[in-house]
Chain A
Amino acid sequence: MRSLLLQIVAVTTINLKSIPRRILLSLSTIVAVALVVMVLLAFLAMANGFQRTIAGSGSQDIGIVLRAGSQAEINSTVTREQVRLVEDGPGIARGGDGKALVSPELYLVVDGIKHTTKTKANLPLRGIGEQGFTLRKGIVITAGRMFNRGTNEIVVGKGLTREFDGFDLGSTVAFGTTRWTVVGIFDADGSVFESEIWADLPVVQSLFNRNNIFQTVRVRLAGPATIDELKGYNDNDPRMKLDVKSEAAYFADQSSQTTDLIQKLGWPLAIAMAFGALAGALNTMYSSVAARATEIATLRAIGFGGFSAFVGTLIESLLLAAVGGAIGAALTYAFFDGLSAATLGGNFTQVVFSFKLSPALVGEGVLLALIVGLVGGLFPALRAARMPIVAGLYG
């Protein structure tokens, strides 16, 4: 057993020390594997970043009320009467004055200019009720101040200012004939709200001719479980015909489609590229075995077993792939992690998000690299183990 181990160590050392003789071919395997891992990880980091932004936006103890069947805030309409009915509903937390902690909201799409392409893109303008700020977690005004009620003032999310032109603090923005002043920038824990523009609800309603029209109602639940009381109340009142969901459930639905799509693109691409890299790895390792034919035969002739030749070749291949995988992961981290991007989300408006690599994703990338190394080394290793001694010596 010990001698087998020593043989493997010896053969592996010889293999690795001879890599410089095949440096270009070995490098091409490393580069190929690194690029495969980079493509995979870039897509996975994109999907992960988008998913975290959307799914991280929802809270379990906030309820969101939409028109039945509308699926997204943009499609929903809620009347003044329905807002009142919701306010009277059970399971909703109330303030010291007994008023329900609810925020009726209006969600409009306005044009903004995308920083990267200079083209028009859909941005969400949200008119929020008095409680709007407190009904979302982690909202902090990082520059300027909150808008004053009853004025044409807006506060904008940090993400939005990063990806779209013209929302600097103090600037004036025009939506159609209406003019607004940016008085504050807010941070929302990296959630989807950072891609939004917020203003006072009655001002938005009147300037956009939507008097007494609302799209959603957000409510603070007395506890996560009380959502069922509110749902039951809604189902039993024919005047309501609304959908009641926890904010967390609402955003989980919203993120799944885009995240799925990105992953569905990323994995097949990476796997196809992995096959290409595999062809390269096989080529490299077969060449390695061919180049060392005399060496392997000599070792066999002086008593080394076929198994050590097998393991030595396999380790060489796995090592090249692992190095490639590690370089790929490191480059993805350097170039893509934290990269800001924006795409069209479930509400037909832009969602700003950042690519986010995680240890689990890096694990998936390195695993793919090792599979390429394993398969790419296996067949050449078998050839090395089975090589007839005499042929090798005369080769």
Chain B
Amino acid sequence: MNDFTLIRKNLFRRKLRAFLMIASILIAFLIFGVLAGVYASFTAGEDRAAADRLVVVNKVNFTQPLPIAYYNRVRSVAGIRQVTYANWFGGYYQDPRNFLVVMAVEPETYTDIYARDIDLTPEARQVFMRTRTGALVGEAMARKWGWKVGDRVPIASNIFSQRNGSHTWEFDIVGIFTAKTQQVDTNFMLFQYDYFDETRSFGKDTIGWLVLQTANPTDNDRIAKAIDGMFVNSTAETATDTEKAFNKAFAAQFGNIALIVVLVVGAAFVTILMIVGNTMALTVRERTREIGVLKMLGFTGGRILRLVLGESILLALLGGLPGLALAALAMSALRPSVSNMMPGFALMGDTVAEGIILMLALGLITGMIPALNAMRLKIATALGRG
């Protein structure tokens, strides 16, 4: 019988107790996995932001418009590789509750700047650039509504209206794009800014924001200052920031998600630490006599320490790994219903790695004191006891 068999047999000596501890650890790691996913989805914007992308918005607030003339003026700044612009559409499909992320964009430059994020066939890109009423739809959105290339979809806006008074625009889906990395969410739709600007009843010749790609990220600061300097004291001053800073500030608007996640996960872990730690201590106390016998048979203190720690670590892994697996399952089940609020809600590799470290830590912490006690136990005391 090797040590692992001994650890396993010890752990499952009291089946019900082992099962209950595994269940409570499983739940703690389920909560950890799901909340890490929530946190990741709120910070995904920050993670996927490219170092060489800057966002130019109205200094008053990003919901305030900028004149479209800024596009050409910004393009003239040295050190910029590409510039594009976009306008928020406030879209929904059929019912205002079916909120959609829809943006009116300049087709050629927008798909160029975001080529590293979204996968789009060159043919679809060409068709999108040529088709006035064309729209590109992300894979996630297309799947949710059952749309495919060639469909004509009526999309309404809760902000804009057409000159004929209608709030609904008809778009022809000319391409469906997919994400190039896990952080990129594809629950959005793009259509031609020119079509939008010609048909809308107000706000003509204004845009929501500009995105630019610098040739060298070390020039970001200089370029941002140059752009904001160009428009100082104009009616629409600008604020230029890196995409990362912009996305971070936006996520922070929802509240301190990180703090909430840390508090809840902390509460869950304190709970299992108490339960498992005490139970391990109890278990080892119950086995005092046996440990004495093992020592008498020649087991060294170190080996006893390893046996007890091995048991608590095995327990943590037996609860934690299925807990993470369950979290992955729960998240894939929830993903469609939370895709608007929390894009990119999934179990990340980083979370799994952190989870395993936590499991080992949990095993060590809960097992350490009982293991040390067992290691130091004197044979005479152990055999003398009850």
Interface residues of A (CB under 8 A from B): 24-25, 27-29, 31-32, 35-36, 38-39, 42, 69-72, 74-75, 77, 108-111, 114, 116-117, 119-122, 175-177, 208-209, 241, 261, 269, 272-273, 275-277, 279-280, 282-283, 286-287, 341-344, 348, 350
Smallest CB-CB separation from A348: which chain B residue?
Answer: B63
B27, A275: Cβ atoms closer than 8 Å: yes
Q: Would you give 10 A-B contacts (Cβ < 8 Å), ordered by A?
A: A110-B61, A176-B60, A209-B235, A241-B165, A269-B264, A273-B31, A276-B272, A280-B20, A342-B255, A344-B253
- B299 interface residue per 8 A CB criterion: no
Pair B90/A75 contact, Cβ less than 8 Å = yes
Taking CB atoms, residues of chain B closer than 8 Å to A175 are: 60
Beyond the given pairs A116-B256, A273-B271, A279-B275, 6 more chain A to chain B contacts, judged by CB atoms under 8 angstroms and listed by A's residue number, are A32-B275, A35-B271, A38-B267, A108-B60, A177-B235, A279-B20
Could you say which of A25, A31, A110, A119 contacts B252, with CB atoms under 8 Å apart?
A119
Q: Report the separation of the CA atoms of residues A366 and B264 in the bound assembly, to the nearest whole angstrom.
A: 19
**Contact B63–A109 (Cβ < 8 Å):** yes
Give how many B residues have a beta carbon under 8 Å from the other chain's beta carbons: 52
Q: List the B residue with the shortest CB-CB distance to A344.
A: B253
Any chain A CB within 8 A of the CB of B158? Answer: yes
Is B360 in the interface zone, CB < 8 Å from A?
no
Q: Mark B14-29, 1 if CB is under 8 A from A, else 0.
A: 0011001101100110
Q: Which residues of B come within 8 Å of A, CB atoms?
A: 16-17, 20-21, 23-24, 27-28, 30-31, 58-61, 63-64, 90, 96, 156, 158-159, 165, 167, 202, 233-237, 239, 248-249, 252-256, 263-264, 267-268, 270-272, 274-275, 277-279, 281-282, 341
For B259, give the chain A residue with the smallest CB separation. Answer: A116
A31 touches B270 (CB 8 A): yes
CA distance A342 to B256 in the complex (A): 9
Q: Does A176 lie within 8 Å of B58, measured CB to CB?
A: yes
Given A31-B274, A121-B253, A176-B58: A69 in contact with B281 (beta carbons within 8 A): no
Q: Which residues of the partner chain B approach A117 to less than 8 Å between Cβ atoms?
A: 252, 256
Given contact pairs A114-B252, A116-B256, A279-B21, A24 touches B281 in the complex (Cβ within 8 A) = yes
User: Which B residues lie within 8 Å of A286 (CB)?
Assistant: 16-17
CB distance from A328 to the nearest CB of B (A): 10
Q: Are B60 and A276 in contact (CB under 8 A)?
A: no
Q: Check B254–A27 contact: CB distance below 8 A.
A: no
Q: A36 vs B263: C-alpha distance in the bound complex, in angstroms?
A: 12
Complex contacts, A287 vs chain B, CB 8 Å: 282
Say which residue of A122, A177, A275, A277 sits within 8 Å of B63 (CB atoms).
A122
The 7 closest A-B pairs by CB, nearest first: A28-B274, A280-B275, A279-B24, A119-B249, A276-B27, A176-B60, A279-B20
Contacts of A341 in B (CB 8 A): 255-256
Chain A, residue nearest B38 (CB): A265
Q: Which residues on A sit within 8 Å (CB–CB) of B27?
A: 272-273, 275-276, 279
B158 touches A71 (CB 8 A): yes
Chain B contacts for A275, CB-based, 8 A: 23-24, 27
CB proximity of B318 to chain A, nearest CB, Å: 13
Contact B267 A283 (CB under 8 A): no
| Cβ contacts under 8 Å, B268 to chain A | 35, 273, 276
Question: Contact between B254 and A343 (Cβ–Cβ < 8 Å)?
Answer: yes
**Set of chain A residues within 8 Å of B61, measured between Cβ atoms:** 108-111, 122
Q: How far is the CA of A1 from the CA of B137 in the complex (A)?
A: 74
Number of A-B contacts (CB under 8 A): 139
Contact between A75 and B159 (Cβ–Cβ < 8 Å)? yes
Which chain A residues border B28 with CB–CB below 8 Å? 276
Complex alpha-carbon distance, A110 and B64, angstroms: 8
Contacting residues, chain A, for B279 (C-beta < 8 A): 25, 283
Q: Shortest CB–CB separation between residue A185 and chain B, in angstroms?
A: 22
Enumerate chain A residues within 8 angstroms of B264, measured Cβ to Cβ.
Answer: 39, 269
Chain B proximity of A354: nearest CB distance (Å): 13
In the assembled complex, the Cα of A75 lies from the Cα of B63 at a distance in Å of 11
A276 is contacted by which of B90, B255, B271 (Cβ under 8 Å)? Answer: B271
Residues in A whose Cβ lies below 8 Å from that of B90: 75
Query: In whole angstroms, how far apart are the Cα atoms of A27 and B279 in the complex?
Result: 12
Cα(A119)–Cα(B255), bound, Å: 11
Q: Are B274 and A32 in contact (CB under 8 A)?
A: yes
| Inter-chain contacts of A344 with B (CB < 8 A) | 253-254
Q: Are B96 and A69 in contact (CB under 8 A)?
A: yes
B236 touches A176 (CB 8 A): yes
Residues of B within 8 A of A70 (CB): 158-159
Bound: A283/B234 CA distance, A:
70
In this complex, which of B24, B58, B249, B281 has the most chain A Cβ atoms within 10 angstroms of its Cβ? B24
Alpha-carbon gap, A108 to B17, bound state (A): 60
Which residues of B are found within 8 Å of A69, using beta-carbon distances?
Answer: 96, 156, 158, 167
Distance, CA A168 to CA B32, complexed state (A)? 41
Q: How far apart sit A308 and B73, CA to CA, in the bound complex (Å)? A: 87
- Once the chains are docked, how many angstroms separate the CA of A175 from the CA of B60? 5
Residues of A within 8 A of B17 (CB): 283, 286
Q: Is the pair B267, A24 in contact by a Cβ cutoff of 8 Å?
A: no
* Residues in B whose Cβ lies below 8 Å from that of A120: 249
Cβ of A122: which chain B residues have Cβ within 8 Å of it?
A: 61, 63, 253
Compute how far the CA of A47 lies from the CA of B90 in the bound complex, rounded to whole angstroms: 26
A176 contacts across to B, CB distance below 8 A:
58-60, 64, 236-237
Contact B20 A121 (CB under 8 A): no
Contact B271 A283 (CB under 8 A): no
Q: In whole angstroms, how far apart are the Cα atoms of A348 and B63 in the complex?
A: 9
Are A273 and B267 in contact, CB atoms less than 8 angstroms apart? yes
- Assembled-state Cα–Cα distance A69/B158 (Å): 6
Q: A116-B256, A176-B237, A269-B31 are in contact. Are A121 and B23 (CB under 8 A)?
A: no
Question: Which residues of B are found within 8 Å of A108, using beta-carbon distances?
Answer: 60-61, 64
Which of chain A's residues have a CB closer than 8 A to the CB of B255?
A: 341-343
Residues of A within 8 A of B165 (CB): 241
Q: What's the Cα separation between A29 and B252 when bound, in Å? A: 36
Q: A70-B159, A343-B254 are in contact. Are A280 and B31 (CB under 8 A)?
A: no
Bound together, the chains give a CA A167 to CA B80 distance in angstroms of 37
Bound Cα distance from A280 to B273, whole angstroms: 11
Cα A42 to Cα B253 with chains together (Å) = 20
B158 touches A75 (CB 8 A): yes
CA–CA, A344 and B248, complex, Å: 14
Nearest-CB distance from B104 to chain A (Å)?
16
Contact A350/B267 with A70-B158, A176-B237, A283-B279 known, Cβ cut-off 8 Å: no
Residues of B within 8 A of A241 (CB): 165
Q: How far is the CB of B59 from chain A (nearest CB, A)?
A: 5
B339 → A minimal CB distance (Å): 14
Whether the Cβ atoms of A282 and B256 lie closer than 8 Å is no
Q: How far is the CB of A103 from chain B (nearest CB, A)?
A: 22
- Determine the chain B residues whose CB is within 8 A of the CB of A119 once the complex forms: 248-249, 252-253
- Residues A109 and B158 in contact in the complex (CB < 8 Å), given A280-B24, A343-B254: no
